[in-house]
Amino acid sequence: MKTKSIIVLLTVLTLLIVSCSKNDDAKEQEKPNQIALTKTEYKACFSDNPIDSNKNLLTETGDSLYYTIANDTLLLHLIVNYNCCGLLNDSVIFDNEDVNIYIRDTCIENCLCYCMCDFEYEYSFVNFLGNNHHFYVYLEGYEEGAYTLWGDLEYGE
């Protein structure tokens, strides 16, 4: 009698575990794909090719932040008009529907020149459809010591 009770109990527990496992798998499949960065291109002042670079030229373009959509990719275009001798590094951090981009001047010596240049970033994002996304860009300039909001842009359907 005890053996029968133990077998029934083990069978019920096994069914519960399998059922819970299947529910977790179903929940994972129901989650929409999260926005993801697939590629970053660095243009203009990042280029070592003098033909492609505006380096050492005073530019009038100015700062820009906008997006375009090509097929299933959102291209976020970011142009920072900054000192030619700047050494700009970026990082991208996702927080739900927010995309935070941090740009920092990491130059250590000979960091100021008498020219301005357009540093161009082109971020390629996928899985953006069906949600609103807010893009925030933060900049920490030479010897500033802290990031400040440089610009923001919202994508919505």
What is the per-residue burial (b if ≥16 Cβ within 10 Å, else e) of 100-118? bbbbbbebeeeeeeeebbb
Residue 98 pLDDT? 94
Question: Does residue 57 surpass a pLDDT of 60?
Answer: no
**pLDDT tens track for 62-99:** 789 999 999 899 999 999 999 999 999 999 999 988 99
C-alpha–C-alpha distance, residues 65 and 119, integer Å: 12
* Residue 51 pLDDT class (50, 70, 90 cuts): very low
Residue 77 pLDDT? 95
Provide mean pLDDT across the span 35-53: 76
Pick the more confident residue, 29 or 148.
148
Q: How many CA atoms lie within 13 A of 91 on its CB side?
A: 7
The overall average pLDDT reported for the chain is 80
**pLDDT tens track for 95-139:** 988 999 999 999 998 888 888 889 999 999 999 988 899 999 999
* Residue 3 pLDDT class (50, 70, 90 cuts): low
Residue 28 pLDDT? 43
Cα 14 vs. chain centroid, distance in angstroms? 43
Residue 6 pLDDT? 53
Q: What is the percent of the chain with per-residue pLDDT over 90, rounded to a whole number?
A: 48
Structure tokens at 44: 């203009």
From edge to edge, which strands make up the β-sheet containing 98-105?
88-95, 98-105, 133-140, 148-155
